[in-house]
Amino acid sequence: MRKIITAALVLCFGQYIFAQWPTDTVFTKVDTMPFFYGCAVDVGDAQARRLCSDQALMQFISTYLNYPHKARQMGLEGTVYVSFVVDETGFVTQTRLVRDIGGGCGEAALELLREMPRWEPGLMNGQKVKVRLNLPIQFSLRDKNADTGGSYSLTWGSLVNDTVRLEELKKNSSKPVFVRDPFGNNRYIDELAFTFEKNKRMLNAVSRGDISSELIKIIEKSKRGGKFTITASVQDNGQFIYVSRTFKIVK
């Protein structure tokens, strides 16, 4: 009996040791990869949260990326690749420039990383860990979809101006969003995203085209003085077209 108990203790102890790793370990793949800020646990299932995270990250880059004046003068375009670690507390650390295109674009990409809000840390065996991520950042002097997307229109209820009162925003939660093509035809919305921003804090949620309960939560959490953005994606000849409208929430 004593031998059996001893063996069991050794086995349990061995499993405990096996499950641990040094505190400075940086993973590249974990059970749950980090989520970008603004996609709360109650956004939906894991797939919906990942979609929300990706959309929120793209929105952040679009909003805060600075295109260096020197690069514009030189006509430089291309993709800068950066690498960074999301630590156990969600902070972005160990930033690194992997590939630069010159003209100050590399430094602009690193500055974007320094401006990032806290992420939700990655998990390994239920434990928060450090995770290294790689991120391509596109610098383009022209919007590839500008000629097409610019001719599309997005409407939501009775909102016609670029300002909205909070009460009006909440009233529109029961009304659908419509996207019309250059010929005035309604187009099927593949994805619909609501984003609220204020003081560099961002809340974001994404749905499969309708105003879901997750999107309504973004409306409910919106405050006066912030910006509310609607982004819808439709397909045109196999390409995704993103159409958006931004409203400033006023008193």
Fold classification of 22-64+71-139 (topology level): 3.30.1150
User: Cβ distance 243 to 232 under 8 Å?
Assistant: yes
Name the residue ranges covered by the structural domains of the chain: 22-64+71-139, 146-250
Q: Provide the CA 217 distance to its chain's centre, in angstroms.
A: 17
Helices and strands (H, E) in the chain, number of each type: 7, 12
Judge: domain 146-250, CATH 2.60.40.
yes
Name the more confident of 33 and 75: 33
Q: Which of 76, 142, 131, 87 is CA-nearest to residue 109? A: 76
The predicted model scores a pTM of 0.58
| Alpha-carbon span 176 to 168, nearest angstrom | 14
Greater model confidence, 93 or 140: 93
Cα–Cα distance for residue pair 61/67, rounded to 1 Å? 11
Beta bridge mates, 186: 180
Q: Does the pLDDT value for residue 83 go beyond 70? A: yes
Per-residue pLDDT, 34:
94
Mean pLDDT of 194-217: 87
Beta-strand runs (E) in 70-125: 78-86, 92-99, 122-124
Q: Is the pLDDT of residue 90 over 90?
A: yes
More confident residue, 251 or 108: 108
